[in-house]
Structure formats: C-alpha cells, structure tokens
Structure 1
Amino acid sequence: MANEPQLPVPYRYFGSQFQLWRKGAGVSRAEVGEAARYSASTVESVELGKRPVPPKLAEVADELFGAGGKLKAGLPYLERGKFPERSRDFFEFEADAVSVWSYQPLLVPGLLQTKAYARALIGKSTPPLDNETVEERVKARLNRQLLLTQTPPVAFSFVLFEPVLRCPVGGPDVHQKQLLHLLEIGKLRNVSLQVLPYDRITPAALSGPIVLLENQDHERFALSEGQEMSQFTSDPADVSSLTLRHGLIRTQALSVEESATFVEQMVEQL
C-alpha cells in the first residue's frame, strides 16, 4: 500500500538491487530465504524497502546470485541514521548554525536534556523502539549538545512554557536533576534561557514549538513540528511569520534573571 512506512532511500536502493540480482539469477524469494533461513516475506520486505536487510541474508544472497561481492559491498552504507528521517535535514543545518532561537511548549528541547530525561522520552516512544535504536538516539542527542560549548560559540535563545518545567518526565529524581541542569546551562554566556509562565500566555504560544536558525551564510530557516509532521523551511514568508510569533512569545516571557529565580523556586518546592 502507498501509505506503508518505508526506510530511507539507501535501504530502498539496496532492496531494488537485491531484487535485480535475484531475478537475474533466476532465484525465487522462497529459495533465497530458505538458504539464509529467512522467510520469503522477509525477502520481499527487504526488496520493497520496508525493512533493513539482515547481513546474513545479504551474504548468502551474494553467493547464491553470483554477485561476486557486489551485493555485500553495499552493506557498510546501510548503517542506521542517528536521527529520525524527518529530523535529519534540520540537524545537518543546525550543525552549521550561528544562532538558534527555540520556543518549546511541551518538552525540554533536546539540546538541554539530561541523559536520563532523554532516555525516559526516547525509551517510551510509541510505537516502541528496540534497545539499540534507543541507545543510538540518546547518544546522538547528547552529542548534539556539544554545539552549546563549541568555538566559535553559537548564540542560543530558549523560551520554555511553564508546563515544560512542571511535567515530571522520568520521575521525581530525573525531573529535579533536569531543572538543575537548566540552571547550569543558563549560566553559559552564549545561552539565553527564559520561562513563559501560565499567567503570561499568548495565543501564539499555543500553536506549537518554533525553532529559528541562521547559518554561517546568514541564511534563515524555521522549523515547526506536530505529532507526525514537521516543516523545515527557508521560505521568506514562513520564516517571517514564525519569527514574528517567536518574538511575541519572547517578549511575554520572564527575563533571564527572573526565569532563573522561577526555576530555582521550583527546585526548592520539589
């Protein structure tokens, strides 16, 4: 079906090459599956780009098809990406940023998460992820945080809606340590951290997260996200609209000093 999930392009390309080699050798899916101890349906899923190819299947198929190593040669290029497919473009641009402005109404942004907070979120994904993928994504998220202290420094501005700070993701201990971590990050000279309290809410703040990014060529981009959709754009009209919304939210938020006091008081209450 057209709406069935598919893997990234390299996997789908490998699957199509697998199918071409198989048909050229006159081998059925059932035959190659039996030789490698996999089902014909697994072989079909590989060929249609719906699941990664098991290395053993590729190795057996390479010999069975007489590919002379040409099929196996593609395996090193099929390492799983560190990030979900829909996030990959943004993270590539983020690595080249000179400024990042972020507003988050629901979760602590990835750049500010502790390891325990990140694992609590990623480990409870729905549908669930396998343990290896969870660890890969947690590690990748922590590696992104090197941007906070790199040289030359990137200018960061974070605005967090009060519910972000109230939600005890991972339990009381993880929650408290996450708040303390925010206070430490807020001390960095290139980081501005502000809180938008309930009583300062503006309608623009209820429309979802916003991230504004400027790269080293001074090109401007904007990211907006939803449950299963995200839009990363450089369209001037979209960037302008989201910049205006972010600006309004930021002016309604507490100052950096007031925000630090707000978070400190929350920690004391825990």
Structure 2
Amino acid sequence: MSGKQQEARPEKPSEADGTAHLFKALGKIIKVLRQNAGLSQAQLAAETHCSEDLISAMERGVRVPQPDFLVRADGVLEAGGVLTAAVEDMERALARARTRHPDWFQNFAKEEARALAAHYYAVQAVPGILQTPAYARTLFEHRRPMLDEATIETRIADRISRQALFERWPAPTLTFLLEAAVLLRPFGGPEIHREQLRRILEVGQRRTVELQILMLDKDDHPYLDGAFTLLTPPGRREVAYTEIYGHARLITDPDEVRLYSERYGILRSQALTKRESLTWIEKLLGER
C-alpha cells in the first residue's frame, strides 16, 4: 500500500449508533427548508418561540433539534411532514444519548431530563448544563486521571445534549446560583472564557431562567461544602444531587433534601438580582 496509512479514529458511541449523524442531517435539512421559505434565522426563531442562537446551533449540528421544535418548524416552514416524520427517530436518539452517561450519573441525568424544576449551585466550575463544548473539553482534557480522546468526545457530546432541557415547553423552572469565582476563573484561556461568559449571558437573559451571582465580598456564608443541584421530578418530591471527588449522591430523604433547599434559599437571598447579575457579566465582557 503506497503512502502513509492514516490511523482510524475510533467512532464515538453517538456516531456508531447514528445519533450524531441524525442531528447533523436534520440541521442541514432545517437550513435548506428555512432558506427555501425565505426566512432568516431570526424570523424562524420568532415563529418557533426559541432563540436565534439555537436555530444557528441546530443548523450547524451542534445543538439537538427537540421533537416539539420539529413539529412547530414543520408548520412554519411548510415542510409537508418532512420534519415531523423525524420526531419518532429523534425521541429514540435522545433516549440512547441519555443512556451513554457514566453509570454513576445515570439516575441524575434521567431525573434532570424530565424535571419540573431544577436549581443549580456552582462553586468551582460552570454547571455542565451551561457549558460550551470548548469549555467542557478544557475540563475533560485536564482532569486526572487522564481520559482517552474517544471518552472525552463522548462526554462532551452527552454533556451538551443535556441542554435540551432549555428547549422544553412548557418550560421547567430553572434557576442558577453561581459563585463569582466560577466566572472569574478563565478555564481554557481568554477566548474560551469569553465564549463561555456569553453563553451564560444568553441563557440568563431568557425569561424562563433565573440566574444570580454570589459575590466574593460577603462576610458570611451558609454553605461551604461544595456544589449541589435540586430537582423536582414529575409526581415526586424534590431530590438533591451532589458530586464530590467523583462520589455522586442522589439524595431522596425528605429531611436531608429540605436542608439543601433551605441553604439554596439563603444563598439566593444573599446574591445579586438577575438584572444585577447579567449587568455584572456584561461588565466582565467589557460590554458595559
């Protein structure tokens, strides 16, 4: 055989089962249908009740078209059922994507995907559901023990797939409480840091999301034990999730969950308001 034989890149699970290819193909179809309909990304976003950034990301294959979006877009673009025909396959693909999370994360990922409410408190890094692909890659590439490239790609794809929660309708109640240090730490360098700040700003500006920053100048603090998440599954009591040094806990005991809920409420009362928080992020970006 002449020439240098190129080593084959291992397929990601999302490629092996066709999930990634389905997302990219649908994105291209949506773009062609939109252009044929004479609509801009902003116009399609307005007609389908989502953001222009989301339309752009779906067309580029980096965000997942949700089944309810496909139904709305099919009518707006007069696609004649082309997009609704993909709904069943998309639902199966999303279900497969959820099962690829590490075993210790399975229960949380399942509860998060269907939660009626989710509240995130972050102290060291941006919550996974808010991360950009580049920011997530930086975290995975520098963790110890080291991960192989195929695992990193899988973890990034599955982390980003969780962001489908933002596109659900009716929208779940979503709140984020971020320690200021999280946004001051420039993981990945200036460019990746700025992209991540803009992503947080974009999500925080949504009317379905409440985002607050806890500043560093507070002289007291009700909870210094690490990040946690509160979830309210359909038809069930609120649960809490913690993950410290790779040890994950999904907490269901009502008395213990109540303690986390009380801590979260106290922390929110000490944080900047949503408007103040967004203004603070804009100043970090030099846009104020």
When normalised by structure 2's length, the TM-score is 0.63
Code of the aligned partner of 1:140: D
The answer to whether the 8 Å contact 2:205/2:278 transfers is no
- 5+ unaligned residues in a row in structure 1: which ranges? 1-78
1:95 equivalent in structure 2: 113
Q: Which residue, out of 252, 261, 275, partners 1:257? A: 275
| Root-mean-square deviation (Å) | 1.8
1:186 equivalent in structure 2: 204
1:236 equivalent in structure 2: 254
- 5+ unaligned residues in a row in structure 2: which ranges? 1-96
Residue 173 of structure 1 and its aligned partner are, at CA, apart by 0.4
1:10 equivalent in structure 2: none
Displaced runs of 4 or more, over 4 A = none
Q: Deviations over 1:115-174 (max 9, x none)?
A: 100111112221111111110110001111011111221111000001100110111100
Q: Secondary structure at the match of 2:110?
A: helix
1:109-258 equivalent positions in 2, closer than 5 A = 109-200=127-218, 202-258=220-276
Distance 2:252 2:229 in 1: 12
1:14 equivalent in structure 2: none
Code of the aligned partner of 1:267: L
Q: Secondary structure at the match of 2:222?
A: helix
When normalised by structure 1's length, the TM-score is 0.67
Q: Secondary structure at the match of 2:211?
A: strand
In the comparison of the two structures, how many residue pairs are matched?
A: 191
Q: Deviations over 1:62-99 (max 9, x none)?
A: xxxxxxxxxxxxxxxxx996322222111111111010
Q: Secondary structure at the match of 2:249?
A: strand
Code of the aligned partner of 1:102: Y
Code of the aligned partner of 1:169: F
Residue 201 of structure 1 and its aligned partner are, at CA, apart by 5.7
The answer to whether the 8 Å contact 1:201/1:252 transfers is no
Code of the aligned partner of 1:163: A
Code of the aligned partner of 1:247: G
In structure 2, do the counterparts of structure 1 residues 255 and 228 end up closer, same or farther at CA, with 3 Å as the change threshold? same
In structure 2, do the counterparts of structure 1 residues 135 and 122 end up closer, same or farther at CA, with 3 Å as the change threshold? same
Query: Identity of counterpart residues, as a percentage?
Result: 36
Distance 2:226 2:118 in 1: 17
Greater Rg by CA: 1
Q: Deviations over 1:13-51 (max 9, x none)?
A: xxxxxxxxxxxxxxxxxxxxxxxxxxxxxxxxxxxxxxx
Q: Secondary structure at the match of 2:176?
A: strand
2:49 equivalent in structure 1: none
Residue 225 of structure 1 and its aligned partner are, at CA, apart by 2.2
Distance 1:93 1:201 in 2: 35
Q: Deviations over 1:164-206 (max 9, x none)?
A: 0011011110001111111111111111110000013643242
In structure 2, do the counterparts of structure 1 residues 161 and 239 end up closer, same or farther at CA, with 3 Å as the change threshold? same
Distance 1:214 1:91 in 2: 13
